[in-house]
Amino acid sequence: SRPNGSFVLSGRSVSPVSRKAEVKCSIAGTMIHAGSSLAGLAVLALTILVHEAGHYLAARSRGIEVDNFSVGFGPALWSFTPEGSRTKFTLRAIPLGGFVSFPPKTQEDPETGETVESDNPNLLQNRPVSDRVLVVSAGVIANIMLAWASLFVSVSAFGVPTLEYRPGVVVTQVLGPESYGAKSGILPGDVILSIDGETVQGGPGSAGDVASLIRTSEGRTIVMEMQRGEEVLNLDVKPKCCSPSGESLLGVQLQPRADVFRLRTTDLDKTISITAGEFMRVTNRTTSGLKDIVTNFGENAKNVSGPIGVVSMGADLARNDQASLLAFCAAISMNLAIVNSLPLPALDGGQMVFLIAEALKGSPVSTRWQEAVNRTALLMFLTFSGFLLFGDIAKLNLMKSLQQLFG
């Protein structure tokens, strides 16, 4: 829908027939957006829940006592303690993560007031290194399993997306009204069928081929045959000449023209094989994306999202189809697994470093030193999360939307 309440059908604007109809459409649109946002929020909550459940179940499987199982940070919104259990399960206000906490090894003697160490064998800190490694690593393992399961369900139920390329390339974006593409009359959604009488062949490299023709045109006028909806027209397009590197510029983004369909298989071995390939693809893209952020943070910082951004992306995908939402769940779960594996304080990888150091030196790293490092890292993590949160709000123009709503 558009801001004035009109809708686009087959590329043409249709004005609302009455205020009553407009209100009905507005309510329906709001319900769709709300449902999609809930789906995005559910994906984020699920990945966090599964991660913390991994820690919790690993601990309980070894008979280790757990104090608190929390999803989120900040004030508690809801909590309960099952009968016969000492573990309190808590839902908190800020969806930036979660934690599983364990009873401390040192406690204050109620009679003397002195701090004493407990020899309770069911405390995490009194367990051998192998048990603690299991508990610490279980969250990452659980997220990896969730990613695999999400992809398996997607492949089994919906199949694998496959592209069938067609002649032409699609203009996905025109970079501003002052760009040479806009001045030549090109609109987003146009399909370039031919250039100077030469048909644009379909294929994964078709957009690159057209872009190359534009860059090497030396600013001369190009005749483009375009498809716009049901209409076919010819445009005289004159790129800007020239950049310092000698290339002509048009100011449009292109992508290959292709129909997407899904191939399903009922063969279990084939399904597992396809899932394995999709899993490796998601893992490689996640690791390469994180590597790009670390090695070139200044340029890629604008692409980093916090929880609101994650929910927004999930909502967009939920409006597409369930298969996309499952793939999104796998990607977020793998992100959580890989990030938590990093050897940084306050993360699972950082705790693993302390355990490896203990195994090598034969004695635990000083508890006071561990706590100081973790507190500092947690403060940095929350500060960074705050920046992400404000960045998400800025990207979504939340304040502007509120002003329009109440203004």
Render pLDDT for 162-177 as a digit per residue (tens, 0 to 9). Answer: 888 999 999 988 887 7
Are the C-beta atoms of 356 and 129 separated by less than 8 Å?
A: no
Which residue in 22, 52, 218, 299 is the catalytic one? 52
Higher pLDDT, 83 or 394: 83
Give the type of residue at 130: S
pLDDT at 148: 95
Write the pLDDT tens digit of every residue in 367-391.
676 666 666 656 665 565 555 455 5
Is residue 278 part of the annotated active site? The answer reads no
The H helix count followed by the E strand count for the chain is: 11, 12
Residue 105 vs residue 68, higher pLDDT = 68
Spatial separation of the C-alpha atoms in residues 153 and 320, rounded to whole Å: 17
Q: Any bridge partners for residue 259, and if so which?
A: 164
C-beta pairs of 60-63 under 8 Å, 24+ apart in sequence: 62/127, 62/131, 62/134, 62/135, 63/122
Whole-structure pTM value: 0.66
Q: How far apart are CA 140 and CA 138, in angstroms?
A: 6
On the question of pLDDT at 50 being above 80, the answer is yes
Would you call 44 exposed, middle or buried from its count of C-beta atoms within 10 A (0-12, 13-18, 19+)? buried
Q: Write out the two tokens for 203.
A: 């294929």
**Per-residue tokens: 24:** 């009905």
Which residue type does 267 have? D
Cα–Cα dist 61/124, whole Å: 12
Distant-in-sequence, close-in-space partners of 206: CB < 8 Å, separation ≥ 6 = 165, 168, 169, 200, 256, 257
- The percent helix, strand, coil of the chain (3-state, each to 5) is 50, 20, 25
| Percentage of the chain modeled with pLDDT above 90 | 24
More confident site: 304 or 55: 55
Mean pLDDT (whole number) for 224-232: 91
